[in-house]
Structure 1
Amino acid sequence: MWLLFLLVACVAAALSCAQLCRAAVAVARATGPAPRPAPAPVPDTAAPDGSAAGLTLYEMAYLSGGPHRLADVVLVLMAQQRRLLLAHTGWATVVDPVGQDPVERATLSAIGPDGQRRIPAIREALVADEAVRAVGDRLVAAGLALPAAARGLRNAVRQVQGATVLALLCAAAAYATAPAGEDRGQLLIWFTLPLILTLGTLAVARFELHPYSDWATDAGEERLPGRPGFTTFTPSSPAPVAPLASLMTLALHGPRALTDPALRAALHSSGA
């Protein structure tokens, strides 16, 4: 019986480590060593004329959490400027049907002519919209974002971590079900093989690939706040209601970092 547990642990470890290696190779191929020019800023209401020295809020959001994070940023931005109403039940209602940039206009189109829609549906419509894809395409072309073929590194790391836990559980099960008289210490030694494979792979990944990102390349990570090489931008004119610091926090860390409980409840209740 213990051989069956050992087989399960070894197969899970081998498959998950192979998947992580495949993801790492895809990332390496996508992130060439040659520097590429910075992308043209995407116009947003934090910098109405598009004159930003570094990344815009939309670009920060995309590099930090992909198109779903970008969708959250534009929804909160419009809500803080009183052009959308985000209810804690997860509904968005249009107050001002005039978009100030292509992403805002896409948001209004995603809400539809009724002027009200569930936030998850808006988010999914925005992810597929050309205006949001254009942000990602420019970042990919500039070498700051990973192309679609190179995504999945974070999930591959989680799979190896899961295989490690599975190996420990299989070892415990084999130990508990070992027949009387079996050398249980010798039995457990066999389970060090999948553990060495998974833990060794995780150690290499931690050293070579961390931070694990499905969106930003190393160059993109360096352009984000808190990393060397980050260039801070200053809005050419202050946004009247939307606090820049709050929006940057959302762009970089997601809805859980919002301090406004109403906005946090709206995004969380909608599955964010």
Structure 2
Amino acid sequence: MSLLFLLVAWSATVLSCALLCRAALAAARALPPAPEAAGDIAPDPAAADRHASGLTLYEMAYLSGGPHRLADVVLVLMAQKRRLLLADTGWATVVDPVGTDAVERAALTAIGPEGQRHIPAVRDALVGDAAVRRVADRLETQGLAQPAAVRPGIGGAVRLVKGSALVTLLSAVATYWTAAPGADSGQVLIWFTVPQILTLGLWAVARFELHPYSDWATVAGERRLPATTGSRDAPDAPGTPPGSLITLALRGPTALTDPSLRAALHSSGA
């Protein structure tokens, strides 16, 4: 029985470590060698207002939560401008059918000619829209966003490594408790320390070299996000009121202070 537990521990360790190394190598190959200077990138005509970090609101949303977060931000932005009405039942209704930029126009197109649509359907339509893809492509070109080819490899692989460390520990405990009375299980337990050292060591290396394990932002992208140092729980930037659009972009719908807007996004599956 002890050999079976040992086999399980080693299998989980080898598989998870191999997947993490593969994901890290794929990310290194897919990312550009160095972020291009902001001046070398074609300006976004729809991004007149940029944060001090040099990122637009849409770019911050994408780097923090991907295209779904960007969709939530543009819907709330248009609701605050009184162009949309977001009901707490999860429906979006057009009030003013005029978009001021490509993403707002894409949101209106996603809602459709009837002027009303369920928010999850609007969000899904926006995710595949060309305006949102242009935001993603621009960030990938600058080396700030993870290429689609490597998402969400590193984060998932790190979770597997942590899981295999737990599997190894549980396997060692099970081996100890199932050992025959009077049997010396010390020698067998020593073999469990090797996979445990491998998983914990690789986890520590990943924490130092690859953290944060974002599915959307690269390390350079995380550093550009305002009021964060790799943590989604960082305080707001100076002068940024709690529940603002920047806070929504960085942390998601739970950061909204308006209960009706928060209910609209949560009731729609956000």
**Residues 244/177 of structure 1: CA separation in 2 closer, same or farther (3 Å cut):** closer
Q: Does 1:98 align with 2:95?
A: no
- Whether the 8 Å contact between 2:61 and 2:249 is mirrored in structure 1 is yes
The aligned residue for residue 18 of structure 1 is 18
The aligned residue for residue 164 of structure 1 is 165
What are the within-5 Å matches in structure 2 for residues 102-117 of structure 1?
102-117=102-117
The aligned residue for residue 180 of structure 1 is 181
Deviates more, 1:81-90 or 1:130-139: 81-90
Q: Deviations over 1:154-203 (max 9, x none)?
A: 12111111222222222233333233333233333222222111111100
Deviation, structure 1 residue 227 = 5.9
Normalised by the size of structure 1, how large is the TM-score?
0.84
Q: Counterpart of 2:134 in structure 1: which amino acid? A: A
What are the within-5 Å matches in structure 2 for residues 162-241 of structure 1?
162-226=163-227
Q: Counterpart of 1:4 in structure 2: which amino acid? A: L
Gaps of 5+ in 1: 229-242
The aligned residue for residue 237 of structure 2 is none
Distance 1:93 1:32 in 2: 41
Identity of matched residues, %: 72
Distance 2:88 2:169 in 1: 42
> How many residues are matched?
254
Gaps of 5+ in 2: 230-240
Q: Does 1:149 align with 2:149?
A: yes
The aligned residue for residue 127 of structure 2 is 127
The aligned residue for residue 253 of structure 1 is 251
- Whether the 8 Å contact between 1:88 and 1:265 is mirrored in structure 2 is yes
Match of 1:265 among 247, 263, 266: 263
- Give the RMSD, CA atoms, in angstroms: 2.3
Deviates more, 1:4-13 or 1:89-98: 89-98
The aligned residue for residue 237 of structure 1 is none
- Whether the 8 Å contact between 1:175 and 1:184 is mirrored in structure 2 is yes
- Of structures 1 and 2, the one scoring higher in RCO (CA 8 A, sep 6+) is 1
Distance 1:194 1:85 in 2: 55
Deviation, structure 1 residue 255 = 1.6
Q: Counterpart of 1:174 in structure 2: which amino acid? A: T
Normalised by the size of structure 2, how large is the TM-score?
0.85
- Whether the 8 Å contact between 2:243 and 2:256 is mirrored in structure 1 is no
Deviation, structure 1 residue 245 = 6.7
Distance 1:108 1:35 in 2: 33
Deviation, structure 1 residue 135 = 0.5
Q: Deviations over 1:98-119 (max 9, x none)?
A: 2221111111222223322222
- Whether the 8 Å contact between 2:34 and 2:143 is mirrored in structure 1 is no
- Whether the 8 Å contact between 1:42 and 1:58 is mirrored in structure 2 is no
Q: Counterpart of 1:164 in structure 2: which amino acid? A: A
**Residues 43/80 of structure 1: CA separation in 2 closer, same or farther (3 Å cut):** farther
- Whether the 8 Å contact between 1:43 and 1:56 is mirrored in structure 2 is no
The aligned residue for residue 34 of structure 1 is 34
The aligned residue for residue 238 of structure 1 is none
